[in-house]
Chains A and B, each alone.
Chain A
Amino acid sequence: MSDTAVNVVVSSRVRLARNYFDLPFLNWERPENARLCVERAQAALCGGDESYDLYLMRDLPDVERLKLVEKHLISRDLVERADTGAALIRHDRRVSVMINEEDHLRIQAIGSGLDLEAAANVAFGVEGRLEAVCTFSFDPQLGYLTSCPTNTGTGMRASLMLHLPMLTRYKQMGNVNQSVAKLGLTTRGIYGEGSEALGDLYQVSNQVTLGRTEEEIIEAVTAVGRQLIDMELSLRARCLKEQPLDLRDALMRSYGLLRYALQMDEKEFMLHWSHLRLGAAMGLLPVSLNAVDDLLTVAQDAHARRYAQETSPGEEADAARCDIIRKTLETNV
Chain B
Amino acid sequence: MLCEECGKNQATVSITVSAGGEVTTRRLCPECMKKMQFSLVNGDIQGFLSSVLSVLGSGQKREESGAVCSGCGLSYADFERTGRLGCAQCYRDFSDQLRPLLQSIHGRAQHAGRRPAAFTPSPEDERAARVSELRQKMDEAVASENFEDAAKYRDELRKLTEESGAAQP
Contacts and interface: CB of A to CB of B under 8 A. Distances in A.
Interface stretch (A92-100, A144-152, A236-244, A247-255): A144-152
Given A135-B116, A210-B108, A210-B109, A25 B102 contact: no
Contacts of A128: 117
B136 A149 contact: no
A44 to B, nearest CB: 14
A133 to B, nearest CB: 11
Contacts of A184: 107
Interface in A118-137: 124, 128, 131, 135-137
A26 interface: yes
Interface residues of A, number: 45
Interface of A: 19, 21, 23-26, 102, 124, 128, 131, 135-143, 145, 147-150, 152-154, 156, 177, 181, 184, 186-188, 193-194, 207-214, 216
Contact of A193 (B44, B107, B136): B44
Nearest to B87: A24
A26 B88 CA distance: 11
B49 A150 contact: yes
Contacts of B101: 149
A188 B108 contact: no
Interface stretch (B2-10, B59-67, B124-132): B124-132
Interface string B101-131: 1100111111111111111010001001100
Given A25-B84, A211-B108, A214-B114, A149 B49 contact: yes
16 contacts: A24-B86, A25-B84, A25-B88, A138-B116, A139-B91, A140-B111, A141-B109, A150-B45, A152-B91, A153-B112, A188-B42, A194-B43, A208-B105, A211-B107, A211-B109, A213-B112
B78 to A, nearest CB: 11
B-side interface size class? 35 or more
B49 A211 contact: no
Contacts, number: 128
Contacts of B86: 24-26, 147
A24 B73 CA distance: 11
A211 B119 contact: no
B20 interface: no
Contacts of B157: none
Contacts of B167: none
A322 B83 CA distance: 42
A196 B43 CA distance: 11
Interface of B: 40-46, 49, 71-72, 83-88, 91, 98, 101-102, 105-119, 121, 125, 128-129, 132, 136
A211 B91 contact: no
A24 B114 contact: no
Nearest to B84: A147
Contact of A149 (B41, B43, B102): B102
Contacts of B119: 138, 140
Contacts of B42: 188, 194
Contact of B113 (A25, A149, A156, A181): A156
Contacts of B109: 141-142, 210-211
A149 B86 CA distance: 11
A6 B86 CA distance: 41
A208 B102 contact: no
Contacts of A136: 116
Contact of A154 (B88, B110, B114): B114
Contact of B111 (A139, A177, A216): A139
B43 A210 contact: no
B83 A210 contact: no
B113 A213 contact: yes
